[in-house]
Amino acid sequence: MNNTKDKIDIRSLSLNALQEHFIRMDEKGFRAKQVYEWLWKKSCFSFNEMSNISKELRAKLDANFVINNVKINSSQVSADKTIKNSFILHDNHLIEGVLIPTPGRMTACVSSQVGCSLTCKFCATGYMERKRNLNPDEIYDQVVLIDQQARENYNQPLSNIVYMGMGEPLLNYANMMKSIERITSEDGLNMAAKRITVSTAGIAKMIKKLGDDQVKFNLALSLHAANDEKRNTIMPINEQNSLKALAEALKYYYAKTKNPVTYEYIIFDGVNDGIQDAMELAKFCKHLPCKVNIIEYNPIAFASYINAGEDKVEAFADYLTKQGINTHLRRSRGKDIDAACGQLAIKEKDKLAEV
């Protein structure tokens, strides 16, 4: 097997499946566990680097398997020290991921799809075509590479991961879940599930599935309006996943997991920035324990939305706080390099930097 396309993607195999392959190659099963540890615990991207494996076995691995690792295509550093990465996949697709350094934490924002099938009107990725889902290892690799960046640039390891990059994680459910399993497992990166947040535009049936699976990570819902008519305009997915359906799904999720939910709310000038909007949001918040992150809007070329004025933002947050709702104002990071919330979109297209 000399042609890469004929080789097996080794990280698509479970440990048991890998052991079966080793036995068929007349190798001892325990060697598979060694290789598995190199792949996941040590994040090794090359068979040649597996130093406790014989040269003969490494040659067999190279002949039969491939590691389709993600690589950094290009990076940009913001004035606020945020780093945006363009990652290149084995099939030459591009995705983006961001390192967000803030006092007390290092956060990786990772993508779950190449492009996005949703059409949220304020989000740059929503104007791209969805090419395909990312595999679990491709999500995992983003975390590994961004962690390396955090250590090299700021002398700190990653502390948090948010699935808030390109794509809708709940539309890549199985691969998203497998990636978190690898990231949190003792034979993987061994990160705490409570340090991971998965953000969704709101797919009711998949939110219920999160509840059935009794997930340990955090859930964030991109809400942006607690009024169906407004939310339909901002986020067309609401037409099939109404606020009533989402409320029912979230209550089911909370009953199963006891995990509070975070609502993300971008305030657009003249769209959802009034006290009536705050009243509707406060009412929606009564369904279950939650907190609200009010997020600064980051303009994109495709949309005409602009950020609400500071006075309106503060009045909105003040109203929610007086209603007893845990409310936080989130300032955007990396705006100057299009790395902030809602700005991720591949601009290079076919113009790839050398890797």
> Which parts are annotated binding residues for [4Fe-4S] cluster?
116, 120, 123
What are the Cα distances from residue 292, in Å, to 20, 195, 264, 265? Answer: 49, 18, 6, 7
Strand partners, 249: none
Neighbouring residues of 254: CB distance < 8 A, sequence distance ≥ 6: 211, 260, 261, 288, 289
What is the residue whose two structure tokens read 């007893």? 324
Which residues are annotated binding-site positions for S-adenosyl-L-methionine? 167-168, 199, 222-224, 298
Q: Dmax of the chain from CA atoms?
A: 71
Pull the structure tokens for residue 291: 């907190």
Residues with a known catalytic role: 96, 341
Element (H, E) at 252: helix 243-257
What phi and psi, each to the nearest 5 degrees, are found at residue 19? -60, -40
- Pair of tokens at residue 59: 């040659």
Look up tokens 């199963």; give the residue: 256
Residues annotated within a binding site = 116, 120, 123, 167-168, 199, 222-224, 298
Question: What does the alpha-carbon distance between residue 320 and residue 183 come to, in Å, rounded to a whole number?
Answer: 35
Report how far residue 204's alpha carbon sits from residue 164's, in angstroms, rounded to the nearest whole number: 18
- Cα angle at 279 between 274 and 281, to 5 degrees? 95
- What distance, in Å, lies between the first and last C-alpha atoms of the chain? 25
Task: Provide long-range contacts, Cβ within 8 A and 24+ apart, for 252-259.
Answer: 252/207, 252/208, 252/211, 253/207, 253/208, 253/210, 253/211, 253/219, 254/211, 254/288, 254/289, 255/211, 256/211, 256/212, 256/214, 257/210, 257/211, 257/214, 257/215, 257/216, 259/215, 259/216, 259/218, 259/219
